[in-house]
């Protein structure tokens, strides 16, 4: 793993998680005084303080003049009080996560490469791209349904598709791509 691209949790001034950023960006924010680093005990440090913090065996670090600097797992924007964006982006991946990578017609869970996104009301008949009209479907069901509605194709949807209601914490964890640090726990649990 490239240390500079690893994820860092960003908090607003009320300690509410906002998003993830990269280590590179976190250091820019820290160095320019826009953010403070937060350690595992919740203490905050500006750049000059943070460079004196011990680098433990389990820490990632960057080389600096005269030694090493620990990579922070959390930074706080101390003047930023906005809340995270609440809307969840309509993407192929988010649709599949909502549908638990399961074909919404036959309920099979084929490999992801065999999953398509199906327009419930076909695009050719005015069906739009929305949380309510898009579902995950296996290639087989997608072909079988073709330009028909589920009723016409005699196929039944597993459930009515809706916009998902994921918490900020869940959305942040989804973007972390499996790289999750225990220092994030108290903040994600509180959000
Ligand atoms: Zn299917």
Distance in Å, CA 131 to ligand 1 centroid: 19
CA distance 7 to 4: 9
Domains of the chain: 3-85+167-190 (no CATH), 92-145 (1.10.30.50)
Distance in Å, CA 111 to ligand 1 centroid: 12
Distance in Å, CA 129 to ligand 1 centroid: 20
Please state the length of the chain.
191
CA distance 72 to 63: 14
Helix (H, G, I), strand (E, B) or coil at 135: strand
- Span 46-61, mean pLDDT? 95
Residues 6+ apart with CB under 8 A from 78: 13, 35, 36, 44
- Span 97-125, mean pLDDT? 96
Q: How many CA atoms lie within 13 A of 162 on its CB side?
A: 5
CA distance 26 to 91: 26
CA distance 142 to 134: 12
Residue range 80-105, pLDDT digits in tens: 878 777 678 899 999 999 999 999 99
Quote the pLDDT of residue 1: 62
Q: With 70 as the cut, is the pLDDT of residue 119 above it?
A: yes
Instruction: Supply the pTM of this predicted model.
Output: 0.74
Distance in Å, CA 139 to ligand 1 centroid: 7
Distance in Å, CA 106 to ligand 1 centroid: 4
Quote the pLDDT of residue 84: 72
Query: What are 49's two structure tokens?
Result: 């303080």
CA distance 165 to 158: 18
Helix (H, G, I), strand (E, B) or coil at 28: helix
What are the CA-CA distances from residue 163 to residues 74, 98, 121, 125, 132 (Å)? Answer: 30, 9, 16, 22, 7
Residues 6+ apart with CB under 8 A from 22: 4, 5, 6, 7, 8
Residue range 150-187, pLDDT digits in tens: 999 999 999 999 999 888 888 888 888 778 899 999 99
């Amino acid at each position: 793993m490239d240390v500079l691209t690893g994820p860092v949790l960003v908090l607003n001034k009320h300690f509410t998680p906002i998003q993830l950023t990269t280590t590179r960006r976190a250091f820019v924010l820290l160095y320019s005084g826009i953010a403070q680093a937060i350690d595992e005990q919740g203490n905050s440090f500006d750049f000059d303080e943070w460079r004196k913090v011990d680098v433990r065996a389990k820490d990632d670090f960057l080389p600096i003049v005269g030694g090493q600097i620990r990579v922070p797992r959390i930074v706080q924007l101390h003047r930023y009080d906005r809340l995270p964006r609440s809307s969840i982006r309509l993407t192929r991946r988010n649709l599949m996560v909502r549908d638990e990578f399961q074909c919404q017609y036959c309920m099979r869970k084929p490999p992801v490469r065999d999953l398509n996104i199906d327009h419930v009301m076909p695009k050719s008949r005015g069906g739009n791209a929305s949380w309510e009209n898009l579902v995950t479907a296996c290639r087989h069901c997608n072909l079988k349904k073709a330009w028909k509605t589920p009723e016409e194709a005699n196929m039944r949807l597993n459930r009515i598709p809706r916009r998902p209601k994921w918490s900020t914490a869940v959305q942040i964890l989804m973007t972390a791509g499996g790289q999750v640090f225990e220092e994030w726990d108290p903040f994600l649990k509180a959000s």
